[in-house]
């Protein structure tokens, strides 16, 4: 029953994503650079885009096969509950270039919470990811894109290096870029672990191949830890 409520909550939150995409992503875009703490796309001259997948209510075998066979680097913003529910599938998709990041513990809207509550949501989610993958998240994506100045303070207190928004959303065969037009290099693409993900991802992969782009690892380009030119881990990525 708890799982059913969890899935219903995620399905509802996915429907509501179009609104924060318009409000938050466009507001951030004007000032976002790779040095910003909050980013919604990556400044790069490389022909790359970034696949990010949120939540985790449904993870199908077909999707796992697709991610593995095409060697797609993914930044996963999976909730703590999904880490438990889909432990096996999520461990199977681990490969170089794929990372597990922070999407809060319970998917509450950050702007509705106090600083203390936001810090608890983010730090506790960090611990769940570290408990599962032995690595601490470096990116935080606020549920629904909702954030305020306390979110930045809370994220930094939890050791997060960047708040990662998005500027492209893909679902149900549709690709919507904030500001319109086709996907461009550096775009951060938002998808969700839903039944529709496998087909949505195929549409995205076909489109970025058509545009001469390829998926790359977000950490290679945005994790400021190595002060050297990033070495993309996607040279062997196959698109078909
Ligand atoms: Zn979410």
Tokens at residue 151, please?
A: 């979110």
pLDDT along the chain (240 residues), means of 10: 49 44 42 83 96 94 93 94 89 90 96 98 95 91 97 98 97 92 97 94 96 97 63 45
What pLDDT score does 224 carry?
Answer: 53
55 CA distance to ligand 1 middle (Å): 5
What pLDDT score does 240 carry?
Answer: 44
Tokens at residue 1, please?
A: 């029953």
What pLDDT score does 231 carry?
Answer: 53
What pLDDT score does 226 carry?
Answer: 52
Beta strands 174-177; 168-171: pairing state = antiparallel
227 CA distance to ligand 1 middle (Å): 31
16 CA distance to ligand 1 middle (Å): 10
Range of the domain at 59: 13-222
Beta strands 139-140; 162-164: pairing state = parallel
| Number of domains present in the structure of the chain | 1
Please check whether residue 239 lies inside any domain of the structure: no
Please check whether residue 193 lies inside any domain of the structure: yes
Please check whether residue 3 lies inside any domain of the structure: no
Beta-carbon contacts of residue 152 (< 8 Å; ≥ 6 apart): 37, 38, 163
Say which DSSP state 23 is in.
Answer: I
107 CA distance to ligand 1 middle (Å): 6
211 CA distance to ligand 1 middle (Å): 28
53 CA distance to ligand 1 middle (Å): 9
d(CA 186, CA 208): 12
Beta strands 214-215; 48-55: pairing state = parallel
CATH number, residue 170: 3.20.20.370
143 CA distance to ligand 1 middle (Å): 5
What pLDDT score does 95 carry?
Answer: 87
d(CA 219, CA 98): 9
Whether the pTM exceeds 0.75: the reply is yes
Q: CB of 76 within 8 A of CB of 135?
A: no
d(CA 89, CA 19): 30
Please check whether residue 87 lies inside any domain of the structure: yes
């Amino acid at each position: 029953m708890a799982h059913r409520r969890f899935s219903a909550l995620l399905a509802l939150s996915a429907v509501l994503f179009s609104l924060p995409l318009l409000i938050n992503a466009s507001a951030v875009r004007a000032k976002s650079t790779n040095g910003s703490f909050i980013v919604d796309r990556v400044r790069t001259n490389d022909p790359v885009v970034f696949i990010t997948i949120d939540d985790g209510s449904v993870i199908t075998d077909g999707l796992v096969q697709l991610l593995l066979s095409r060697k797609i680097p993914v930044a996963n913003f999976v909730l703590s509950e999904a880490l438990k529910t889909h432990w096996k599938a999520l461990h199977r998709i681990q490969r170089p270039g794929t990372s597990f990041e922070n999407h809060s513990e319970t998917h509450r809207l950050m702007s509705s919470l106090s600083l203390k509550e936001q810090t608890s949501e983010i730090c506790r989610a960090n611990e769940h990811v570290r408990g599962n993958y032995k690595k601490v998240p470096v990116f935080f994506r606020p549920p629904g894109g909702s954030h305020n100045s306390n979110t930045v303070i809370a994220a930094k207190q939890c050791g997060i290096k960047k708040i990662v928004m998005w500027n492209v959303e893909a679902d149900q065969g549709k690709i919507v870029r904030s500001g319109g037009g086709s996907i461009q290099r550096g775009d951060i693409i938002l998808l969700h672990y839903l039944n529709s993900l496998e087909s949505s991802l195929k549409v995205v992969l076909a489109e970025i191949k058509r545009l001469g782009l390829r998926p790359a690892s977000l950490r290679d380009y945005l994790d400021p830890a190595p002060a050297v030119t990033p070495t993309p881990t996607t040279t062997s990525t196959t698109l078909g």
